[in-house]
Amino acid sequence: MKLRKSEEQVPRRAVALILVLCVSGMRAETARYSVPEEAERGSFVANIAKDLGLTGEELLARQARLVPEGEKQYLQLNRHTGDLVVRQQMDREELCGQSEPCL
């Protein structure tokens, strides 16, 4: 009995998807860091590669990026070294108003 083309493709697609998910090993990581209020531009915050147990090359290969919650990008990531630095000075009142705590 000969199978139709559409019946053959579904299992192949499922197997391919499972292989891609298993082999890729990629997942999203969330990290939170404290930054002193009004830290100057260029101030070192953390080394993300070290904190995640990766090398700079691995961070670059995984296309690591920062995803800001607001419109402004306050931090900058050097994907070659893993260093996270202040890109733009932050103002607590502008970010949080009078709410406590400010996260």
Q: At 81, is the secondary structure helix, strand, or coil?
A: coil
Domains and CATH numbers, the chain: 37-91 (2.60.40.60)
Per-residue pLDDT of the chain (103 residues; tens, 9 = 90+): 555 554 444 455 555 555 454 444 555 667 778 888 778 999 999 998 898 888 888 888 888 888 877 788 888 999 899 999 999 888 777 777 777 777 6
Q: Which residue has the tokens 């930054």?
A: 35
Q: pTM above the 0.85 mark?
A: no
Torsion of CA 57, 40, 70, 28, to 10 degrees: 20
> Residue 10: which H helix or E strand, with range?
helix 5-24
Instruction: For 53-75, give one letter per residue: b (16+ CB within 10 A) or e.
Output: ebebeebbebebeeeeeeeeebb
